[in-house]
Structures are given as structure tokens and as C-alpha cells.
């Protein structure tokens, strides 16, 4: 009996400590909406932001405003702005390219380092959701070091806009496409997050890979269908709601 009580106490203590360490008290004006940027490629474009907005709103955790230069394909729900920062086919390593003379690229993006300024300079988001890097998984041997350097470039740019921004980064959903493998990127994300997280601007990792059925929950092996978008929204919500409740 005493062993059971000790284990119960130890488990409760561990949960308390883990919660206190992983759920920071962050500055946010209670009278203003949480400003959220959903950053990604066409996977983000397909509809999870609307469903996440709905879950956050229905949980009565405050008000939420999604911001960005693009519109989601499936805003769908009344009250959702549809604003996101998602660009079809975007390769995150393009952000390492210096500004060039070629001018504005497709999907309202420059496809070089100028996008960091276009996306973040005047945004000042409270929360950045990142599911980006899937295109680097094509070919089966992604250049992980370049993807991580790109993540760090995003991090510097968004923190310059708001030093207390919360970053929630996803380990990428699996792709049911021949010669596509995002696992090397996913394996590197937790270490990158731990190395770059701070008390003022924490980085939270969400495992979007494990349990996602790329056959049943995508339309084409890549892009989430309704079920896949809802699955992603649920995962984002589980990561965000403790942080927001702690505010």
C-alpha cells in the first residue's frame, strides 16, 4: 500500500513539475485577441487553421485572430478570418537565399530571404505555428542542416517582431509519396527546439507524424482532407490550450 501511495505521489509530483516547466506564464494583454500566424505550405493551406480557431473559441480561452497575407482554402466557419501565411510548394530553405533581382515570386512570396521581412516585420504575433519543410523531404534524403538553419532564420525574424512570441513547431505529417521521407527532419526538430527555446519565448514541439494516417487522412498522400485537417487542429489545440489557460 505504501509503495502504491509513494508511486502515486511521485507521479503527481512529476506531473506538477513538468507542467510548471512546460507551461510558462507569458505576457499578453488580456483585452486583446491572441494574434496567431499559421506558417507553412499547401498542407497548412488546406484547412486546419479554421478548425483550430473553432476549437480555441469554443473552449472560451479568449479571442483569437489569425493573421497573414494569404487566405486558407477552407475558411468555412463563421467568424474565422481565413488569414494565414501559407504558400503552395514553398521550400523553407529558400529563406536562406539572399534577396535577388527576380522580383515577387508565386503565391505572394519572394521565395528568398525577403519573405522573412514580408511575413514578420509588421506582424508582432503572439503565437507562431510552424508546419513547414515537407517539400525538403522529397527525394528521400533531405538536407536537414539547411532546414534547421531556415527554422533559425524564421525564429530570429519573428522574435525581432515580438521577443515574447510562443513558437509551436510541428514534426511534419507523413507523406504517402514515393521517395518522400520527412523523418530525418522530424528527428532533428526536438533538439533544435530545446537549443533555441527561452523562458520569454518558448518553443513547443508537436508530434504531427505519429498516428497520422496519410492514406485515410489526405486527399492525395500529401494534403490533409477534412479528417486530416481536424486531426491536425486537435494536435495544435492540445499543445496550445495549457499555455493559454495559464495566462
Domains of the chain as residue ranges with CATH: 28-245 (3.40.50.1110)
Which of 218, 237, 196 is closest to 52 using CA atoms? 237
Q: What is the pLDDT of residue 12?
A: 37
CA distance 76 to 125: 23
Contact 224, 218 (CB under 8 A): yes
Name the pTM for this structure.
Answer: 0.86
Q: What is the DSSP letter of 98?
A: P
The pLDDT value given to residue 63: 87
Q: Which three cell numbers stand for residue 96?
A: 536562406
What pLDDT does 133 receive? 95
User: What is the C-alpha to C-alpha distance for residues 20 and 24, in angstroms, rounded to an integer?
Assistant: 7
Q: What is the pLDDT of residue 29?
A: 64
The x, y and z cell numbers of residue 199, run together, are 523562458
pLDDT of the residue at 75: 53
d(CA 154, CA 164): 14
pLDDT value of residue 13? 33
Task: Look at residues 88, 79, 77, 95 and name the one whose alpha carbon lies nearest to residue 44.
Answer: 88
The three-class DSSP label of residue 216 is coil
Identify the CA nearest to 47 among candidates 224, 167, 237, 234: 224
Q: Given this model, what pLDDT does residue 100 score?
A: 62
The tens place of each residue's pLDDT in the chain, 247 residues long, gives: 433 333 333 333 333 333 333 444 455 666 788 999 999 999 998 879 999 998 998 998 888 899 999 988 655 567 787 899 999 999 999 999 987 655 555 678 999 999 999 999 999 999 999 999 999 998 767 799 999 999 999 999 999 999 999 999 999 999 988 888 999 999 999 999 999 999 999 999 999 999 999 989 998 889 999 999 999 999 999 999 998 876 6
pLDDT value of residue 47: 78
Amino acid at each position: 500500500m505504501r509503495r502504491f501511495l509513494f508511486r502515486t505521489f511521485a507521479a503527481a509530483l512529476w506531473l506538477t513539475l513538468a507542467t510548471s516547466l512546460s507551461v510558462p506564464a507569458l505576457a499578453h494583454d488580456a483585452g486583446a485577441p491572441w494574434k496567431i500566424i499559421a506558417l507553412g505550405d499547401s498542407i497548412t493551406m488546406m484547412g486546419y487553421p479554421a478548425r483550430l480557431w473553432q476549437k480555441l473559441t469554443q473552449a472560451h480561452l479568449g479571442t483569437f485572430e489569425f493573421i497573414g497575407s494569404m487566405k486558407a482554402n477552407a475558411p468555412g466557419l463563421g467568424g474565422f478570418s481565413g488569414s494565414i501565411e501559407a504558400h503552395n510548394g514553398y521550400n523553407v530553405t529558400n529563406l536562406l537565399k539572399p534577396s535577388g533581382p527576380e522580383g515577387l515570386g508565386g503565391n505572394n512570396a519572394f521565395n528568398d530571404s525577403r519573405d522573412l521581412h514580408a511575413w514578420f516585420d509588421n506582424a508582432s504575433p503572439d503565437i507562431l505555428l510552424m508546419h513547414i519543410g515537407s517539400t525538403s523531404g522529397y527525394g528521400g534524403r533531405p538536407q536537414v542542416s539547411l532546414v534547421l538553419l531556415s527554422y533559425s532564420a524564421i525564429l530570429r525574424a519573428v522574435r525581432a517582431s515580438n521577443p515574447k512570441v510562443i513558437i509551436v513547431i510541428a514534426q511534419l505529417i507523413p507523406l504517402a509519396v514515393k521517395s518522400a521521407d520527412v523523418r530525418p527532419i522530424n528527428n532533428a526538430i526536438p533538439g533544435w527546439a530545446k537549443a533555441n527555446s527561452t523562458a520569454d519565448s518558448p518553443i513547443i514541439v508537436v508530434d504531427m507524424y505519429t498516428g497520422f494516417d496519410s492514406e485515410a487522412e489526405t486527399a492525395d498522400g500529401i494534403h490533409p482532407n477534412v479528417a486530416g485537417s481536424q486531426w491536425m487542429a486537435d494536435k495544435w489545440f492540445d499543445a496550445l490550450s495549457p499555455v493559454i489557460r495559464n495566462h
